[in-house]
Each structure stands twice: as structure tokens, then as C-alpha cells.
Amino acid sequence: MFDSSLKLTGHLSVSINGEVVREIPNLVVTTGKNYVASRMKDATATAMSHIAIGTGSSAAAAGNTALGTEAARVALTSTTVSTNTVTYVGTFPAGSGTGAITESGIFNASSAGTLLCRTVFSVVSKASTDQMTITWVVTAS
């Protein structure tokens, strides 16, 4: 018997001014799984292009389509594919998305768009002078 279940898993790292302050497992939401399936058919759905951060505290759930309370969204600074992983990196400059950041997500648009992954974490305080970098690794296994 073969076990051919495809799983999408991974984690993200949150850095403030170059120092990693959180390592968190991710959740690939239902819209993200549907997105991956649609990309196997063709390239009609646009590629993931943005990372958002927010202040929402509701637990990540498979049915999520957006962040709870989005604070800022930036274009990805890099996307790297290696074997069965994709690494997305986005940097929020000083003055962007400040406050008590508690959630993040990956999207395929600069506003709205399809949510691939969402996670919620304990507060990371981002002051107006801080730069925050999110590094998100998604693994297909």
C-alpha cells in the first residue's frame, strides 16, 4: 500500500533588527491548499507575492481567508525554491506595521488576494524605528 498523501507544513521566523525573536509553526489554510491544486493545473492564479502582519489574536484556522486585523503588507523581498520547500521573505521597514504584532500571512496580491498560510504567535513589539523580517518556509511532503 502506498501513502501518497501530500502535506504542506512549515514554519516562520520573525526577526527584529536582524535578531530572530520567534519561531512558529505555520498553518496552510483551505484557500492555500486550493491555490496549490490550481497551480498544478495551470498558472491562472498569480504567484504568492506579499507577506502581511497584523494584531489579531484569533487562532489560525483552516477556513481563514485573511488576517484577523492586518497592520501592514509588503511585497516579498525573495522567494526561493529548493527541493520540496519554498522560502518566502518579506521585510517591514521602520514605520511600517508598528505595535503589538501577533499574526502573519502570505498572499498573492498587494491587497485582498488568496491567503496561502496564516499563523498567530505571542506578541512581538515592533517600534516605529524597528525593521521586521518574516522568513516563511513551506514544505511539501
The stretches of the chain forming alpha helices (DSSP H) are 30-41
Around 21, how many Cα atoms within 13 Å sit in the side-chain half-sphere? 19
* pTM of the shown model: 0.91
Give yes or no for a contact between 21 and 124, defined as CB atoms under 8 angstroms apart: yes
Q: Domain spans of the chain?
A: 8-140
The SS3 of residue 62 is: coil
Q: Which pLDDT band holds residue 26 (cuts at 50, 70, 90)?
A: confident
Average pLDDT rounded to a whole number, residues 116-125: 96
What CA–CA distance (Å, rounded) separates 97 from 129? 11
Give yes or no for a contact between 137 and 129, defined as CB atoms under 8 angstroms apart: no
Radius of gyration of the chain (CA): 15
Average pLDDT rounded to a whole number, residues 41-53: 91
What CA–CA distance (Å, rounded) separates 13 from 11? 7
Q: Which pLDDT band holds residue 66 (cuts at 50, 70, 90)?
A: very high
Average pLDDT rounded to a whole number, residues 95-124: 97
